[in-house]
Amino acid sequence: MRYNAAQAYLKTQVTTTSQEELVIMLYDAAIKFLNRAKIKIKERDMAQKGILISKALDIIAELDGSLNVKQGGELAKNLHTMYFYCNTRLLKANIELNTEIIDEVIHILSQFRSAFAEILPGAKHSTSAPASQASLY
């Protein structure tokens, strides 16, 4: 019963949240999963570590797949390249159990999240942005 209520709440939150806020939520979730994966590496819980890194990879893939390359232009292409870089680094971190690589990806995603919150209209703590940047996703 409690699970159904949580699912209904989450569905309502996602359907009533702006696109900009959803992107920020995705960054937050990926960062959260990666921080938890680092803990699981230290605890030697390889199964959970793998699940958490996979969740972060899924989010990065969603962010990458949502890019609007036509309207986002060079910025969208650069983000695509950085998402690919993050994916390859996380795959390496997963195999090598390397928390420093995970920290590197967390730093990159945190920077993207902060920049995104600043440039997109409607996002938390945003300033006004040119319309061309607003169509990045």
Q: What is the 3-state secondary structure (H, E, C) of the chain?
A: CHHHHHHHHHHHHHHHCCHHHHHHHHHHHHHHHHHHHHHHHHCCCHHHHHHHHHHHHHHHHHHHHCCCHHHHHHHHHHHHHHHHHHHHHHHHHHHHCCHHHHHHHHHHHHHHHHHHHHHCCCCCCCCCCCHHHHCCC
Confidence of residue 125 (pLDDT cuts 50, 70, 90): very low
Q: Kindly list the domain boundaries of the chain, sorted by start residue.
A: 19-134
Residue 101 has pLDDT above 70, yes or no: yes
- Give 126's pLDDT tier (boundaries 50, 70, 90): very low
The CATH superfamily assigned to 19-134 is Flagellar protein FliS (1.20.120.340)
pLDDT tens for 45-81 read 999 999 999 999 999 999 999 999 889 899 999 999 9
pTM over 0.85: no
